[in-house]
Amino acid sequence: MKQLNLILLLFLTSFFACQNTDSTNSMTDTTEEKEHPNHTKLKAQSNEFIKELIQLGERVYMGVGYDGSNAAMIVGDDGLVIVDGLRGIGAAEELLRDFRKITDKPIKALIYTHGHGDHTGGAKAFIENPSQTRIIARAHFKEELEGNSPVKKMLIKRNIRQFGRDLADEEIVNRGVAAGRTPTDRAGKGYVPPNETFEDSLFLTIAGIDIELHAANGETNDELFVWLPKDKTLFTGDNYYKAFPNLYAIRGGQYRDVKSWGEAVKKMSQLPVEHLVPGHTRPSSGKEKIHKDLSNYSEAILSVYEQTITGMNQGLSVDELCAQVQLPAHLKDAENLQEFYGSVPWGVRSIFFHFVGWFDGNPSQLYPLAPKVEAEQMVKLAGGKKKIKEQFQQAMKEKNYQWGMQLADYILALDKKDEAARQMKIQALRKSAATQINAPARNYYLSYAKEMEEGK
């Protein structure tokens, strides 16, 4: 009880401290120096990626922070099973060296939770004896990857922005579910294809370890989860990590099956899990906590899905839905649902477009004015470019950075080279970035601003 009072006191103190800070800001306009609370939270999320080899239960060891994702080792009677292969061979070799301090048993199998490069690109380091290592994944593994996409060039550019790959070290906080910088040593060079695949479920005993693999579409359509019934340990792949799920990746990609994702996590929540190993962020232990975390996660995903579907059937447009759909009140502050990586409105857009394509149902959107024509009308309506620029200053003062970006866009639609408008956009992007809890949004804003500053 004493502890509870202390927590309450700390909470109230920090709550009022925040309130005070905000009111001081608006009066004295010292926003430049004050750190936005979202930025503080995003920085704290980096604790999830501190490098550590963690033991869970009797015979599971996982490496956090060796690379952008997690990988684990299960120690059996006469051999080992590895779950996931990290992204870089260098990082995987380092983790293997640490695994080898624990045991010298041979690696009998490697299981891929899904086909994303950050979980497969370093696998080669773990395949010490290729002819005798079972490499297990789902059927149709890696089929959906964008490697052969006709818009590959665009995807690469957006990928660089989402992950802040060209940002300076001091600008990048993190990537939401990974550190801001991850190892580059032979990154992506060690993928080894599976030699064993399955469709729905697979029950195995390897080196005396009972293992269940279950297909679970979510972040990808080749995702699975690994369940060790005797160890009560669950490996979720990327269908769970400590951040709101990335229902849509702004780097671009195919539809992520939101409904299946929510149902997959629900299925996981029904298992008696004692230890949980996520694809990113730190593991957790304790049956009650894990059950609560997985239940929250599933409920959040399915709630976003249901609210969107209901709203669509009520005739709401995608933009109206983005403004309306929210996490249920009791989930908003859940520590595993903060929008460090995924973002609720991005999920809403993704679901909407998946079911009906681009047309939102409003006939005004059938043949909208071209951006330049609309900008001409808006600038005329405002009373000229000068007025728009004045409005921009007002928007900045009011910290309405989104409106600032949109105002800059009107002038840029008329003249991409308008220097004042370019500076407006850069300023709005940078200001907005500083208020973001969402790492991909922050990284994208800053990367785009940097490109503009470099005249790209």
How many whole angstroms separate alpha carbon 399 and alpha carbon 420? 19
Q: Which stretch binds Zn ion (CB under 5 A): 36-44, 48-56, 66-74, 248-256?
A: 66-74
How many whole angstroms separate alpha carbon 34 and alpha carbon 25? 8
Q: Is 162 in the site for Zn ion (CB under 5 A)?
A: no
Q: Is 69 in the site for Zn ion (CB under 5 A)?
A: yes
Residue span 352-391 as binding mask against Zn ion, x where in contact by CB under 5 A, dash where not? ----------------------------------------
Nearer to Zn ion, 69 or 260 (CB): 69
Q: Is 307 in the site for Zn ion (CB under 5 A)?
A: no
Question: End-to-end CA distance of the chain, in Å?
Answer: 58
CB 154 within 8 A of CB 437: no
Q: Is 222 in the site for Zn ion (CB under 5 A)?
A: no
Task: Give percent helix, percent strand, percent coil of the chain, each to the nearest 5.
Answer: 45, 15, 40
Q: Which stretch binds Zn ion (CB under 5 A): 4-12, 271-279, 417-425, 438-446?
A: 271-279
Minimum distance, C-beta of residue 84 to Zn ion, in the bound complex (Å)? 9
Longest alpha-carbon distance in the chain: 79
Minimum distance, C-beta of residue 454 to Zn ion, in the bound complex (Å)? 30
Q: Which stretch binds Zn ion (CB under 5 A): 277-285, 318-326, 380-388, 419-427?
A: 277-285
Q: How far is CA 55 from CA 52, 58, 299, 358, 406, in A?
A: 10, 8, 29, 48, 50
Minimum distance, C-beta of residue 238 to Zn ion, in the bound complex (Å)? 4
Q: Which stretch binds Zn ion (CB under 5 A): 20-28, 279-287, 394-402, 441-449?
A: 279-287
113 three-state secondary structure: coil
Can you list the pairs that 96-101 forms with residues at least 24 positions away whose Cβ atoms lie under 8 Å?
A: 96/125, 96/126, 98/53, 98/63, 99/53, 99/61, 99/63, 99/73
Nearer to Zn ion, 116 or 232 (CB): 116
Q: Is 238 in the site for Zn ion (CB under 5 A)?
A: yes
Q: Is 257 in the site for Zn ion (CB under 5 A)?
A: no
CB 239 within 8 A of CB 224: no
Among 48, 118, 222, 223, binds Zn ion (CB under 5 A): 118
Minimum distance, C-beta of residue 109 to Zn ion, in the bound complex (Å)? 20
Q: Is 113 in the site for Zn ion (CB under 5 A)?
A: no
Amino acid identity for residue 27 in this structure: M
| Closest to 119 (Cα-Cα) out of 163, 86, 71, 82 | 86
Given the rule CB under 5 A, which residues bind Zn ion? 69, 116, 118, 238, 279
